[in-house]
Structure 1
């Protein structure tokens, strides 16, 4: 369906330029062009509120509004009021990065086609859009095989499950490994896809990590998968395996009604924030005394996993605080699930890996600062684990 092309009245342009702004006042981060674009998009979003839009369209509109400073004159994309003729197969300069950004937020090629047409006036085929995103394949290979640091003080390992069609729709396991480097920076170490989660495949992942240069991991935070600690010990025998407290609390709350969740979470906190293992054991007993009648499985689960939950009591508070308050892997998995939720399933492993990599690349751009209080924790790591740092 054709769209009406609007011409900006000269009177409006003259009014905007009445105070003779300098070029840098037009194009800067707070310049006139950006302010005008933001207000126009904001008005468009207000109009959308009264219309029927898909969740992905609404999400993208808000993100484009926030990112409008990067869609300026240097983007190479044609102005929104100018429509490219025909079904385009050639991507205008600068538009490929916008297509990648949209794809990384979970939009399909057809949804991107609609957004590119609406926002940039360019009519591209889904095949042309897929070709742009396929360019990430070489980048993924280089990223997945890049050399890693020699030592990681903390590594988080977890798995999420996604449906992939690939002939017949089936659930597959995506292995996610995030490290905290010596400088305290979060780093996405890698992504792997397998038929299902298992300690045997984790052994392959750990071996690959070692082959890429990692000689030691001080603390590995993992879920409660059977055989996982043994797999880690095979490749990194000096590593302390710590069952992720965030996972344990989350799994505990799965048994609890919404009404009682906040209170149960507060009563679990004294267990993992205790100063000694004896105090933690007493806190667990106190929890059981209060909640066993209603939720007996919670106390049973904590006791069953006690040996994997308590190693961090051997560490000073600076390190322990990092372990139980840094819900790095949970936050990342939540972000990855968010970009996948509109897809339902993926055509194959390659399309799944492409989206997850691009999404993870976006997430990692926000990791500009070391984790909180890292300097104090690093000093304790140096004492606890020797001179490797």
Structure 2
């Protein structure tokens, strides 16, 4: 495309600066100064606001021309049955640079329906919507977003308008939550963050569970987000075998047919639920969760010594050696002082020992849910600013937006490092999604031997 500037033609790829003369820029600068002589780039009457106004009104003129079928002052419009009819009463629309006052052209037949700025629309979608969704994804509450828009851009929106804007992503969220999954996952990690949600007219703490699966190529994927429903007669969310059965049914309905190992934090009812849906799956308790639970009753001054003794348990060569190390610790002064630390491992022994059937590559993969815990740490920062969520869908919406935002942030950081010559910048950019497990080839070979015919 070629545009005309004065007597010159400028290619369509030219920058805005090349298209605007110095005289035009000087006028814009002068008009954008406040009483103190300071430049106002955003907000009502600002330089960017005037540019947006000009572009919008020009675009609306183009829409009317397309509607009528002829241009302004074009003789072909004579006796056409419809023609331009001036401009309607001006209206203020909210944009990404603040409120902008525009006038909308009219036709005599009253049949013109603007697309860019629809009738009765109070804002221009696009920049403003994207800004609000980004602020929401960073953890700002609706009230904080309203205050930010008013303070920085002079934009007035209602609580309902902001909620409707963020709800625009719900179709994407639902599509993501129901997308087809791979038939086989080598390992599925499951962990939770606790959020406050209004349920049955009561604000209650609810665990929001997030699953991360490692596919047969060794790549991690966030499989979904689930919140337990609260029965009307109960005051707490239903973290039960029934809940876990519904989660496993959801995975099966989305195409999962086999999970080799499910790694979790020893959640009640999880083992029975997963084996009902996937009978051949081995349930492995996360070792790091066990250590944390074992150290919870230990005084800070003794924590280091107890952790050192417990390390002998989970680094043993096999299950028998681990049991012997645990018995030795139970017989020490520290073991007798903190019997609960021993009991934590004893209670989870059957779900802890599958870990010993493998060598270092697979043990490292199963040792901890660090990948998902790192993600949850980021998500907790986003949810921390919230008093409570009005619905379960609001929780899923924010967590999905936050995951997308976190992944994109990491990708940008990697790209910036790569541009600066960082030799490590070519490692996976994602925090979770699409990241490849370290040492996967060795782990894959061992898993293929341990589970013949199940990894394809």
Same fold judged by TM-score > 0.5?
Answer: yes
Provide the C-alpha distance between the structure 1 equivalents of 2:35 and 2:320, rounded to a whole number of angstroms. Answer: 71
Q: Specify which of 377, 390, 406 is matched with residue 334 of structure 1.
A: 377
Asked if the contact 1:85–1:123 (Cα under 8 Å) also holds between the matched residues in 2, the reply is no
Report the TM-score, using the length of structure 1 for normalisation: 0.74
Provide the C-alpha distance between the structure 2 equivalents of 1:4 and 1:151, rounded to a whole number of angstroms. Answer: 66
Alpha-carbon displacement from aligned partner over 1:197-243 (angstroms, at most 9, x marks no partner) = 11211011101101111110000012223332111111101111111
Alpha-carbon displacement from aligned partner over 1:118-140 (angstroms, at most 9, x marks no partner) = 55564443332222210111111
Alpha-carbon displacement from aligned partner over 1:117-166 (angstroms, at most 9, x marks no partner) = 45556444333222221011111111111100111000012344322224
Q: Specify which of 216, 222, 226 is matched with residue 268 of structure 2.
A: 226
Change (3 A) 1:5 1:326: farther
- Which residue in 2 is equivalent to 1:280? 322
- Which residue in 1 is equivalent to 2:194? 161
- Which residue in 2 is equivalent to 1:201? 243
Asked if the contact 1:151–1:182 (Cα under 8 Å) also holds between the matched residues in 2, the reply is yes
Q: Specify which of 158, 165, 181 is matched with residue 148 of structure 1.
A: 181
Provide the C-alpha distance between the structure 1 equivalents of 2:367 and 2:317, rounded to a whole number of angstroms. Answer: 13
Offset, 1:188? 1.0
Provide the C-alpha distance between the structure 1 equivalents of 2:278 and 2:373, rounded to a whole number of angstroms. Answer: 24
Change (3 A) 1:280 1:3: farther
- Which residue in 1 is equivalent to 2:450? 384
- Which residue in 2 is equivalent to 1:170? 204
Provide the C-alpha distance between the structure 2 equivalents of 1:325 and 1:357, rounded to a whole number of angstroms. Answer: 23
Please report the RMSD computed on the Cα atoms of aligned residues, expressed in angstroms: 2.7
Alpha-carbon displacement from aligned partner over 1:55-90 (angstroms, at most 9, x marks no partner) = xxxxxxxxxxxxxxxxxxxxx943xxxx5358x941
How many residues are treated as equivalent by the alignment?
A: 317
Asked if the contact 2:142–2:162 (Cα under 8 Å) also holds between the matched residues in 1, the reply is yes
Match of 2:135, SS state, is helix
Match of 1:163, SS state, is strand
- Which residue in 2 is equivalent to 1:375? 441
Change (3 A) 1:130 1:271: same
1:211-290 maps to which residues of 2 (within 5 A)?
211-288=253-330, 289-290=332-333
- Which residue in 2 is equivalent to 1:37? none
| Higher relative helix content | 1
Compare 106-115 and 143-152 and name the one that shifted more: 106-115
Change (3 A) 1:215 1:109: same
Unpaired runs of 5+ residues, structure 1, are 9-75
Offset, 1:273? 2.0
Offset, 1:338? 2.1
Report the TM-score, using the length of structure 2 for normalisation: 0.64
Q: Specify which of 12, 21, 38 is matched with residue 6 of structure 1.
A: 38
Provide the C-alpha distance between the structure 2 equivalents of 1:3 and 1:316, rounded to a whole number of angstroms. Answer: 73
1:84 aligns with 2:84: no
| Higher relative strand content | 2
Rg comparison, structure with higher value: 2
Match of 1:346, SS state, is coil
Unpaired runs of 5+ residues, structure 2, are 1-33, 41-94, 102-120, 231-237, 409-429
Asked if the contact 1:175–1:193 (Cα under 8 Å) also holds between the matched residues in 2, the reply is yes
Between 1 and 2, higher relative CO (CA 8 Å, sep ≥ 6) is seen in: 1
Asked if the contact 2:286–2:368 (Cα under 8 Å) also holds between the matched residues in 1, the reply is no
- Which residue in 1 is equivalent to 2:168? 135
